[in-house]
Amino acid sequence: MGRHRKPRTHRGKGPVSTLQKQQRPRKVKLRSVQNFGHFAQMIHLAVRFPDEFASGRRDRKLVSEAASRLHWGAPTSLPDICDDPNISLFIKTDDPTPAQLKRFGPGGLPRWLLRREFKNNLWREALLRQQWPKWLVMRFADVVKPETQQRILSIWDRIKPFIRYPPTELQRSRSPALHLGIWSLYCLWPYITADSLQKIPMAHKLSAASLKKARERQKLVIEGLDEILGIVRAEVVPVLEPLMREHAPEGDQVQSAIHRRVRRLLRRELRLRPNLDFGGLFFTIALKEGCSEFLHIDWNDCLHRFAIIFCMGDYDNGEFCTPQLGHRIPLPPGAVLVVRTRLLAHCAVSGAGRRLVFTCFTDSSLLARIVTGDYAFL
Ligand SMILES: [Fe+2]
């Protein structure tokens, strides 16, 4: 048997090769850590405000370009930011510099805000206030109770074999995700996502018996999804709302304006599927089993809103990895991660076991069309 040789790493002598530089994890120091009893930790990282993906350009190549230019290394080999999975975390970076602000537009304002006439000036002010979030990432422990997780997982097991998935987004994961709820992607008006409706493709080509079977499966899946979303709506959203109001209140006004408009436009649809209305905290849930294992940006998310992520299952060592923050953030079952997924490139890893992940977000075009009445890349 041949001896297993460890890969060679640089030991401080001689020049460092590009490959060694790329493999070496970038170390980000902590500028300050404040503990609040055993319950919360506030962490200020000694790293610049992440603006790499904040300009109007939406290009998947930007992530790989930034990874090689900034020598991010493998995101999964980053150190954990905290060992204790049971405390709340509030994580921030340095504030944006004047040079970074210019990148967003003259006077620190995003160009798209200056270009467009807002119907309501209060919305513009609310958006401007929330440009620079106080916290880039927040983690709240033990939000989704084990009983709630169990109920959701048993419904998921019942409908899983019959779910109709969209094509897998290979830039972020090997496994497909369902997008449930409301968005206005590629369309002028908000609408219920195709995955929520589980439409039967090419129904006219199916025989009467196959069509009947397909319809039965569709009904079963829709009922199961509605049941899961109903549990989220009744048991998770009411816990999240006060947390978000307390720690990220800036976007409330805009978010409720979008919610009012969506409810008015989709009155009939939401009367039939009330569980697709999440009360304005978010409008879409990406639901999948597994991880998004490839480094990516959620380009469809709103730049000015947080994504809310929670997982359930019996998996070990679930981590959310962000090279821009130089750390991995442990995300155990039941915890909630509130994070700017449109600013921070990210991927997730987990050990053995099952992981059902809910990523709740507001898509950028929904906000742009409703607030400005026009199309804008945020
Ligand atoms: Fe993502």
> Which are the contacts of 319, defined by CB distance < 8 A and separation ≥ 6?
76, 80, 328, 329, 330, 331, 348, 349, 350
What is the pairing mode between strands 88-92 and 40-45?
A: parallel
Token couple for 145: 């109770």
| CA 58 to centroid of ligand 1, rounded, Å | 14
* Residue 340 to residue 305: CA distance in whole angstroms: 7
Per-residue pLDDT of the chain (378 residues; tens, 9 = 90+): 445 554 554 454 555 565 555 555 567 888 878 777 768 999 999 999 888 887 666 777 899 999 989 888 899 899 999 989 889 999 999 887 767 766 655 445 555 455 555 566 676 666 655 556 788 999 999 999 999 999 999 999 999 999 999 988 888 888 999 999 999 988 888 999 999 999 887 756 778 888 899 899 999 999 999 999 999 999 999 999 999 988 887 667 778 888 998 999 999 999 999 999 999 999 999 999 999 999 999 988 877 789 999 999 999 989 999 999 999 999 999 999 999 998 899 999 998 999 999 999 998 888 777 665 433 333
Q: Are 129 and 84 in contact (CB under 8 A)?
A: no
Alpha carbon of 211 to ligand 1 centroid (Å): 35
| Cα 347 to middle of ligand 1, angstroms | 7
CA of 207 to the centre of ligand 1 (A): 39
User: What separation in Å is there between the alpha carbon of 102 and the centre of ligand 1?
Assistant: 27
Ligand 1 geometric centre to CA of 232 (Å): 20
Interval between CA 340 and ligand 1 midpoint (Å):
10
Q: How far is the CA of 261 from the centre of ligand 1 (A)?
A: 27
**Ligand 1: centre distance to CA 301 (Å):** 9
> What is the pLDDT at residue 96?
76
How far apart are the CA of 238 and the centre of ligand 1, in A?
24
203 Cβ contact partners less than 8 Å away, ≥ 6 residues apart: 211, 214
The residue type at 269: E
Whether 374 contacts 192, CB under 8 Å: no
Ligand 1 centre to CA of 216 (Å) is 32
Tell me how far the alpha carbon of residue 328 lies from the centroid of ligand 1, in angstroms. 14
CA of 168 to the centre of ligand 1 (A): 13
Domains and CATH numbers, the chain: 30-50+59-372 (3.60.130.30)
State in Å: Cα 332 to ligand 1 middle. 17
What distance in angstroms lies between residue 303's CA and the mean position of ligand 1's atoms?
Answer: 13
C-alpha of 162 from chain center: 26
pLDDT number for residue 375 = 35
Residues 6+ apart with CB under 8 A from 232: 152, 278, 285, 358
Q: How far apart are CA 344 and CA 177, in angstroms?
A: 20
In angstroms, the CA 187 to CA 366 distance is 9
Ligand 1 centroid to 184 CA: how many Å? Answer: 18
Structure confidence at residue 104 (pLDDT): 56
Q: How much is the pLDDT for 210?
A: 87
Phi-psi domain of 281 (left: phi exceeds 0; alpha: psi -120 through 50; beta: other): alpha
Residues contacting 133, CB < 8 A, separation 6+: 248, 250, 306, 340
Q: How far is the CA of 24 from the centre of ligand 1 (A)?
A: 24
Residue labelled with tokens 């997780």:
149
Spatial neighbors of 371 by CB under 8 A, at least 6 apart, are: 118, 119, 123, 127, 254, 257, 258
Sheet with strand 307-313: strands edge to edge: 30-36, 40-45, 88-92, 137-140, 336-339, 307-313, 355-361, 284-289, 178-183, 191-192
Q: What is the pLDDT of residues 209-235, one digit of tens each?
A: 888 998 999 999 999 999 999 999 999
The Å distance, Cα 175 to ligand 1 centre, comes to 13
**Which of 215, 197, 341, 205 has its CA nearest to residue 269?**
197
Q: Decide: 289 and 175 in contact? Cβ < 8 Å.
A: yes
Q: Which two tokens stand for residue 70?
A: 């900034």
Distance from the alpha carbon of residue 67 to the mean position of ligand 1, in angstroms = 16
Helices (H), the chain: 18-23, 61-69, 98-104, 111-115, 121-129, 146-159, 194-197, 208-231, 237-247, 252-265, 267-272, 364-372
- Between the CA of 293 and the centroid of ligand 1 the distance, in Å, is 9
Ligand 1 mean position, distance from CA 9 (Å): 31
Q: What is the pLDDT of residue 170?
A: 83
Question: Torsion angle, CA of 201/204/205/207, rounded to 10 degrees?
Answer: 110
Asked if residues 34 and 42 have their Cβ atoms less than 8 Å apart, the reply is yes
CA of 295 to the centre of ligand 1 (A): 8
User: Nearest-5° angle of CA 249, CA 40, CA 284?
Assistant: 45
**Ligand 1 centre from 11 Cα, in Å?**
35
Handedness of CA 241, 343, 91, 135 (dihedral sign): negative
Residue 88 Cα to ligand 1 midpoint, Å, equals 21
